[in-house]
Structure 1
Amino acid sequence: MAGTPAIGDGASLALGAETRQEQPIILIRGFGGLSVEDEKKIAYQGFNDGTVYPHKRGENYIYEGMILKFMKSRWSYFDATNVIGYHGQKVELPEDMIPEELTKLSMPHDWFSGHKIVIDPGMALRLTATLTDPSKSIWVFRYYDLDNREQFREYAEALKRLIDFIRILAGRNGRTPKVNIIAHSMGGLIAREAIQSVYQKGEAELCINKVVTLGTPHQGIAFQVVERWIGLSAGAELERFNPEKQADRTNAYSYLNFSKHFPPERLLTVVGTNYRTYGPVAASWLNRAFSVAGEFGANYNRSDGLVKQHNAMLPGAPRTFVHKCHGGSDSLVTSREAFEIATRFLFGNVHVRLNLMKAEVTRGFDFIGKSEFFFGVSIKPRGVDFDLFHQSAEAENCYGPFADAQFRDPEPAFGWAGSDRLIWEGWLDTTSRFTPVPRARTTTAPDTTPSDLVMRLDVYVGERDLFGFGFSDNVVFRKQYYIRAVFRDDSNTLIERFELHAREDFSQPLGDTYLTAQGWRFTVSGTGFNAEMLLSFATVPETGPPVPVEFDASPPAVAVATPAAFEPARPGEVPTRTEPDGGGVMGWLRRQFG
């Protein structure tokens, strides 16, 4: 396309490199149903809808919706949606009506005329003249306004066109940004179509920074009667939901081909688990009747009501779980959880991985029925009363079922997040300064409570009798732990120690914690279950992939950030290479925190 932003001329970020700097954000809605005329009247396509959390307080009580939350956040994004026009017919605009200020920005005439998606000259002129940082702009992609539901590729071509527009309009001071994409449901398939079919191979990662998908059926929808349920007027759209076609490598848009076109580690899949609150009852029933392989038929409904959890994942891409349904009120797209997870993935400066090293179930096992065990965790940071990762019996998303008491089954139906029994990988945004938790004061002496970072880890092990002779919902083990990183000095630059506590007020410390070369190992134990876990870290630079941290376990503990691309050491291995610490005692982490 004429006018496509130049790459590699010093005007853009490092070639293909990911960044946690603010980039323009494109929001893409999901499937519109049988008729979309009413959908077109929704100004922000559902991204301005929020959720009320009646049992929470303060800032956590009312979530105002994604767009308003971005605008009120410390990133101070602003709405730029009206800069682009979406039309059912081609727009014709005389060339002399394009302001000279815009033509000087290498914007050809056909960006304003001759297409269904065009730049509005007046709004574009206002955007380029404003003092607001255009990298902090947010855009809603209104693809249904194009009035062509039979040509799915047209949506993807329009998205690429929009990205080209934004990169020129938001470019300033010799810098051409990439874009971040947050897409709900079918919106994620449109993003993938653009990446896999419209961009030339290797080009998409130069223009798109990161992608977050909310309940996107990357591997299709499990039940084959979807057309009879939703309607027949959107055949091209429904074709992308077909699991057989998504699994066919000969189709350019197959999910199996994604990694050939875009680094999968730069796409986060947010998977919904609460099918019970999804409106269309038929969908939830069909998801139970049409299970994916290994789900043992109608015993499970691992879905968000419409999309199976397994099918919302993408090979090689990180994943997380939110206990919300697919769409409507109180859903993935309207949840505070989705916002908190997405922003940490886009802007986070610390990458965390949690692995299961050892495990032993010490009670349970039905003598008559067929026992199967499930293992899961939930993770919540202090200060934000929402899970960054949620597993539970109710969500039907715990790892398993396991027949082996040490969880060594080679291929459980619901498998680990990665090799070496990876439980969770996530991102923390620690660039804002933390303040100590207030303590009860019984003296007038100065408060010497140190600054710290705390996450709550909720560990669950359950047992189910598959044949129905015994109890179907035994809780073998459930316990909450508080993981605390304590900072050494008043300047909040060094971490002094890691701690494990049984109580939120840190009045009940737990032992059995120690540093290894790979990270921090700790034990969880109690009646029915014992386990050892590994918490490892990588720093996320402003530009470039995460850099792993190697720990020198000899006192004083030193953390060393290695320059290699993020490939964490396998549990049990000790890196043979050592490097100087650069003057920091675990300072890599707290320097990012400050």
Structure 2
Amino acid sequence: MAMLTAPHYPIIYVRGYAGNDDEIEDTVADPYMGFNLGSTKIRQQWTGRVVRHYFESPLVRLMKDFEYRDVYSAGLDGAELDVPPEEPIGPRSIVIYRYYDQVSTAFGEGKQRSMESFGEGLGTLIGKLRDRICATEEEKAGFRVHLVGHSMGGLVIRCFLQNDAISTPEVKALVDRVFTYASPHDGIEFEIIGNVPGFFTRNSADNFNRDRMCQYLGLPAGTEKVNTLAGRFDPDRFFCLVGTNPRDYTVAAGWSSRIVGPFSDGLVRIDNAHVTGPAADPARPTRIAPRAFVHRSHSGHYGIVNSEEGYQNLTRFLFGDARVDGELHVRELTLPPDVQKLKDDGKQIRASYHFECITAVRGARWDLSRRVMAENSTLFRKYGELFPEKAGAFDRPHHDRPLLFTTFLNSAARVNRRRRSLGFSVDLGVLVPEYEVEGALWLRNHYPGGYIFRDKINIEAIPPENEGEAWRLRYGFDSDAPNAATKEAEATAADGALTFLIPIRQNRRPGIDADLVLVARGR
């Protein structure tokens, strides 16, 4: 049997919420509980024509691309120790945590179980998997596992990791990385009534109520933001994939997406789908776990799990070589000349800005992350939030540099294997805001949808040819030379990271003076 080697650890998949008895029975009747579902659809165009793309499913792709296997043998489940001991379970195994078996009438008692019991069961499964894969104490010491959760599955994972009354620290320490698709980490929100009410306990729907979440996540009662890892797990090892397409979520004949609202995947609000927490390394100030935004709905044929974007983010996070964080350090945002004249005359000017960002790897037809105004997923910042020394009474009092993206790169997944470099692009746009002059909207010479800055930046990360040398980075703007990276980026090294600066300068008004700062770290 092959030895367990990083980063290709066993993967445990934890599925999402099944809302009624029929859904539960359908769930337990599926060996892979949805992880095997693929899709030929990306989304519908305005004409009604469906854009076609063949995605076989995360399960099949992990088997094809990374030589993973399931743990079923002769109709039995190896992860649950149902198969004979002589049947080997390889380290590159995919395990389905079948927690809904306990709830079904076919395999269990037909009664709802608590999130705490699901979390406890996950810890038990991890321990069984370790004992089944590892033959010696030395192998057990090096055992690790990746956890992947969809929707409520991400909350089951957090319950296991964060609740001190569940499992043991030794078992929790076996988790290497966590990846969640569209999990409601800060609860489920409706436009009219707000958070799911605590009294709505039918089919355990109160699992998405914040008061109940505080209980099973081990958080103090009344915690306002329940998407915190609370120091129980390093947020740098936790990735959140956020869906931004409510339109194609067809559950309940589309009523779910109407009730939740447009800033969502049809069920989970965009702002509720990530986690925060103190980083394990104090030298790294990251407070929000790595995340990406994809124009996918919560589930279904247009869903986030059975999508190329989801798979590419999953495998790059679990197996990638490098992490790149892109921040925009803004020095100045200039006003249109006539608005500037009003400001010079003593008029009060108010403005806010939307930052769009699309990241994609070289040679791909899909995006790793996509935040655009038309899909309600941009970064929104008031002028005073970008420049606190000029902040007004309604601005947040701290300096907020927009984190545009976090991308993981994997040399083994290069589209063109003949090129050593890792290439990706950043399509960056800063939208012209609606200016207010003395509290009134300024409409003179204002055209909606205009940009202060918009360009695609092509980036090529070049690995060192000799030991002791550093990575290099070349970049280029499409407006200068389309699809080319010819300029060498200035680089500095500190705290185990390389920081590259890409200057963004515009002399016209309105315009921007900023640096795109890329911070690259090894795995």
What TM-score comes out, normalization by structure 2 length? 0.75
Look up the match of 2:316.
Answer: 344
* Deviation for aligned residue 1:410: 7.3
Question: What is residue 461 of structure 2 aligned with on the other side?
Answer: 485
- After superposition, the CA RMSD in angstroms is 4.1
| Counterpart Cα distance in 2 of 1:413 and 1:426 | 33
Which of 223, 242, 250 in structure 1 is aligned with 2:220?
250
Is 2:39 aligned against 1:51? yes
TM-score w.r.t. the length of structure 1 is 0.66
- Alignment partner, residue 297 of structure 2: 325
Residues 214-255 of structure 1 show CA distances to partners (whole Å, capped at 9, x for unaligned) of 111111011247879x985313xx222013444673359984
CA deviation after TM superposition for structure 1 residue 414, in Å: 12
Using the alignment, how far apart are the partners of 1:410 and 1:399 within structure 2?
A: 18
Hey, what does 1:26 align to over in structure 2?
12
Q: Counterpart of 1:64?
A: 56
* Contact 2:196-2:206 within 8 A present in 1 as well: no
Q: Deviations over 1:392-449 (max 9, x none)?
A: 112322211323595658799999xx97543323321225688577xxxxxxxxxxxx
What residue number does 1:447 align with? none
Distance 2:441 2:275 in 1: 33
The unaligned stretches of length 5 or more in structure 1 are: 1-11, 14-18, 87-111, 129-133, 289-300, 438-449, 541-594
- Structure 2 counterpart of 1:167: 130
Pair 1:535-2:507 in alignment: no
SS of residue matched to 2:7: coil
Distance 1:410 1:377, change over 3 A: farther
* Residues 529 and 405 (structure 1), Cα distance of their counterparts in 2 relative to 1, 3 Å cut: farther
The CA deviation at 1:478 is 1.9
2:208 match: secondary structure: coil
- Residue 175 of structure 1 aligns to a residue whose secondary structure is helix
**Aligned residue type for 2:70:** D
Q: Does residue 202 in structure 1 map to residue 169 in structure 2?
A: yes
Q: Which of these residues, 307, 324, 330, is aligned with residue 358 of structure 1?
A: 330
Q: Is the CA contact 1:34–1:231 (under 8 Å) kept in the aligned structure 2?
A: no
Contact 2:160 2:167 survives alignment (8 Å): no
User: Equivalent residue of 2:429, what SS?
Assistant: strand
Q: CA deviation at 1:200?
A: 5.1
The residue aligned with 1:551 is: none
Change (3 A) 1:515 1:182: same
Partner of 1:424: 405
Shift of 1:530: 3.7
SS in 2 for 1:52: strand
What secondary structure is seen at the aligned counterpart in 2 of 1:394? helix
Task: Give the aligned residue type for 1:22.
Answer: H
Contact 2:457 2:476 in 1 (8 A): yes
Report how many aligned residue pairs link the two structures: 455
1:515 is aligned to 491
| Contact 1:337 1:387 survives alignment (8 Å) | yes
How has the CA–CA distance of structure 1 residues 29 and 477 changed in structure 2, closer, same or farther, with 3 Å as cutoff?
same
Q: CA deviation at 1:307?
A: 0.7
CA deviation profile, 1:339-381 (whole Å, cap 9, x unmatched)? 1111111111212222222253345698999743111312111
Contact 2:364 2:415 (8 Å CA) reproduced: no
Write the deviation string for residues 89-138 of structure 1: whole angstroms up to 9, x where unpaired: xxxxxxxxxxxxxxxxxxxxxxx9xxxx942133x53225xxxxx11000
Alignment of 1:152-551 (within 5 A): 152-172=115-135, 174-176=138-140, 177-197=143-163, 198-199=165-166, 202-223=169-190, 224=193, 233-235=202-204, 238-246=205-213, 249-251=219-221, 255=226, 258-280=229-251, 281-288=254-261, 301-316=262-277, 317-362=289-334, 371-404=351-384, 420-431=401-412, 451-465=420-434, 470=443, 472-486=448-462, 497-503=472-478, 513-517=489-493, 519-526=499-506, 528-540=511-523
Q: Is the 8 A contact 1:458 1:481 kept in 2?
A: yes
**Counterpart pick for 2:98 among 142, 151, 155:** 142
Is the contact between residue 227 and residue 272 of structure 2 (CA under 8 Å) also seen in structure 1?
no
Question: Contact between 2:383 and 2:391, CA under 8 Å: does it hold in 1?
Answer: no
Secondary structure of residue in 2 paired with 1:538:
strand
Q: What's the CA shift for 1:144?
A: 1.4
> Cα distance 1:220–1:451, how it changes in 2: closer, same or farther (>3 A)?
closer
CA distance in 1, matches of 2:463, 2:144: 35
Shift of 1:212: 0.5
8 Å Cα contact 1:326-1:332 kept in structure 2: yes
Q: 2 CA distance for matches of 1:507 and 1:153?
A: 51
Instruction: Indicate the percent of aligned positions where both proteins have the same amino acid.
Output: 25
The offset of 1:324, in angstroms, is 0.8
Q: Give the residue type in structure 1 aligned to 2:310.
A: A
Query: Which moved further from structure 2: 241-250 or 210-219?
Result: 241-250
Aligned residue runs from structure 1 range 96-135, under 5 A: 118-122=80-84, 124-128=85-89, 134-135=90-91
2:91 maps to amino acid: S
Change beyond 3 A, Cα 1:468–1:406: same
State the distance in 2 between where 1:422 and 1:411 align. Answer: 22
- For 2:270 and 2:334, locate their aligned partners in 1 and report how far apart those are by CA, in whole Å: 30
Contact 1:348/1:427, CA 8 A, preserved across alignment: yes
Larger displacement relative to structure 2 (33-42 or 405-414):
405-414
Query: CA–CA distance in 2 between the matches of 1:260 and 1:507?
Result: 42
